[in-house]
């Protein structure tokens, strides 16, 4: 087989609630897409890389396709599914062995025939021999024998992966064999519902990659999109809006928030979008706290700056000061002002986040660190006379990504939050720590200061 840098794309399509996202997760061997019994849970396009025989294949999960639905959101879903079909090299047409052929299956089959691309019919929920016999009816769809699987029991998944590879091989598709020295930078775009996350990503990509709607909560899953800008490779992760527990209305919201948190955990860096008209809320502070707990680089982007009539006459500097006054944690992260609608400063945010991401690779020598605190001894800060003063002996950097420092003292119990704040402030004054959280760990030393 001829091999070069191109990766074939396999598109998973079908009517709602047949198990497309379950198949997507099973083929990737990880839980990437939200799976729930509610019809229409998946709305956006999700991407992942599946490796078969040492070759990479891009896998695309799509929303449920219903020809007769005419509402605006359904029209957006259908448009995105058709675009995914156009880009795909091979289609996985997912059906349901239990319900058999439905009218909407025939409608999807008719659309697939228009694209004139190879199609593998996948009969999901084929859990026993009786259902295997009944799956023979899928011949009527006109794409040959179905591949019978059960995502729930992982039945037939390995054989399906092999068959996908064989079909692509016969098509003489190209597979990527070159190893990239620098992996793509994974950026999670997070924020409360309806702050413009999907519009921000679409503006970066210069196309409607994710569905945008005025209805809060349109994005339910974490959507990965690979793209290149300025010669650098990125994976953008559009997440569901993260909201407080009291605002969760259904089980899908629970899964969406869980997936958003998982996206932050697996991302390299994070862009937090705020709504200029709303400023910062308790929900935003909760998101920042989670970002900080996970040690991720973060850029705070104030979106809809062009539409914020309530802040007209307020400079960006004044607005930033107000944000920091409302939430002091923001002083650790750079603040930029953007408009996802017009594209102002959107592409520049990529350059900023890449710089912040490099700060996570910071490596500081032990002599330099101790030189900082030789001149700025934390034990000399003002504290209550009733408190015992600890002796701060020496400090080392203990990790990168996340950045962590260990300060050894004679008596860890006597170290106060004021000491930790002082140490962090001095580190930030002397080192390139903009935009990244740092962790300071206090350890007892066996050595006493002479």
- pLDDT tens sequence across 96-107: 999 999 998 998
Q: Can you give the CATH number for the domain in which 382 is found?
A: 3.30.300.20
How do beta strands 55-61 and 46-52 pair?
antiparallel
Distance CA 344, CA 203 (A): 10
Shared-domain flag, residues 216 and 154: no
**Backbone phi, psi, residue 322, to 5°:** -65, -40
Domain carrying residue 241:
185-359
Q: Can you give the CATH number for the domain in which 347 is found?
A: 3.40.50.300
Distance CA 335, CA 300 (A): 5
The secondary structure of 405-423 as a DSSP string is: EEEEES-GGG--HHHHHHH
pTM of the model: 0.62
Shared-domain flag, residues 234 and 282: yes
Distance CA 392, CA 419 (A): 10
Shared-domain flag, residues 91 and 67: yes
pLDDT top residue among 71 and 84 = 84
Starting at the earlier edge strand, list the strands of the sheet with 297-303: 223-229, 232-238, 185-190, 269-275, 297-303, 335-337
Q: Which of these three, 106, 140, 170, is where a domain ends?
A: 170
**3 inside domain:** no
**328 inside domain:** yes
**275 has a pLDDT exceeding 80:** yes
Distance CA 241, CA 216 (A): 8
Reported as a single tens digit per residue, the pLDDT across 362-409 is 899 999 999 999 989 999 999 888 889 999 999 999 999 899 999 999
Counted domains in the chain = 3
How far out from the chain centre does Cα 56 lie?
Answer: 20
Shared-domain flag, residues 196 and 286: yes
Reported as a single tens digit per residue, the pLDDT across 55-77 is 888 888 887 666 555 555 556 66
Distance CA 334, CA 298 (A): 8
**1 inside domain:** no
Q: What is the pLDDT of residue 39?
A: 42
Q: What is the pLDDT of residue 406?
A: 96
Shared-domain flag, residues 122 and 236: no
Shared-domain flag, residues 277 and 378: no
**70 inside domain:** yes
In the chain, DSSP finds a helix count (H) and a strand count (E) of 12, 15
**77 inside domain:** yes
Query: Are 408 and 395 a contacting pair, CB within 8 Å?
Result: yes
């Amino acid at each position: 087989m001829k091999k070069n840098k191109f990766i074939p794309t396999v598109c998973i399509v079908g009517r709602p609630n047949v198990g497309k996202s379950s198949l997507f997760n099973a083929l990737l061997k990880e839980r990437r897409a939200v799976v729930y019994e509610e019809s229409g849970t998946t709305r956006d396009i999700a991407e992942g890389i599946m490796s078969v025989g040492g070759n990479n294949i891009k896998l695309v999960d799509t929303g449920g396709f219903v020809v007769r639905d005419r509402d605006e959101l359904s029209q957006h879903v259908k448009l995105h599914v058709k675009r995914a079909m156009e880009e795909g090299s091979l289609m996985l047409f997912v059906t349901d062995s239990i319900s058999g052929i439905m009218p909407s299956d025939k409608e999807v089959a008719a659309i697939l025939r228009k694209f004139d691309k190879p199609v593998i019919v996948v009969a999901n929920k084929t859990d026993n021999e009786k259902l295997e016999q009944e799956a023979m009816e899928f011949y009527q769809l006109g794409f040959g024998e179905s591949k019978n699987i059960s995502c729930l029991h992982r039945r037939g998944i390995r054989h399906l992966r092999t068959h996908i590879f064989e079909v692509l091989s016969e098509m003489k598709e190209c597979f990527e064999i070159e190893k990239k020295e620098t992996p793509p930078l994974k950026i999670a775009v997070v924020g409360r519902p309806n702050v413009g996350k999907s519009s921000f990503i679409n503006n970066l990509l210069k196309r409607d990659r994710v569905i945008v709607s005025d209805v809060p909560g349109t994005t339910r899953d974490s959507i990965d999109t690979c793209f290149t800008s300025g010669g650098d490779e990125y994976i953008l992760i559009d997440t569901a809006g993260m909201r407080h527990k009291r605002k969760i209305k259904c089980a899908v919201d629970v899964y969406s928030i869980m997936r958003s948190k998982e996206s932050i955990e697996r991302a390299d860096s994070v862009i937090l979008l705020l709504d200029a008209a709303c400023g910062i809320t308790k929900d935003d502070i909760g998101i920042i706290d989670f970002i900080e707990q996970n040690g991720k680089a973060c850029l705070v982007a104030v979106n809809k700056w062009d539409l914020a009539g309530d802040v007209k006459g307020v400079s960006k500097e004044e607005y930033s000061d107000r944000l920091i006054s409302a939430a002091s944690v923001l002083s650790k992260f750079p603040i930029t002002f953007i408009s996802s609608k017009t594209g102002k400063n959107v592409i520049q945010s990529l350059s900023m986040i890449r710089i912040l991401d490099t700060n996570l690779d910071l490596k500081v020598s032990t002599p330099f660190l101790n030189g900082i605190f030789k001149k700025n001894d934390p034990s000399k800060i003002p504290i209550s006379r009733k408190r015992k003063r600890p002796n701060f002996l020496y400090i080392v950097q203990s990790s990168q990504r996340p950045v962590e420092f260990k300060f050894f003292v004679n008596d860890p119990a006597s170290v106060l939050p004021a000491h930790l704040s002082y140490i962090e402030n001095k580190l930030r004054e002397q080192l390139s720590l903009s935009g990244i959280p740092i962790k300071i760990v206090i350890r007892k030393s066996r050595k006493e200061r002479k």
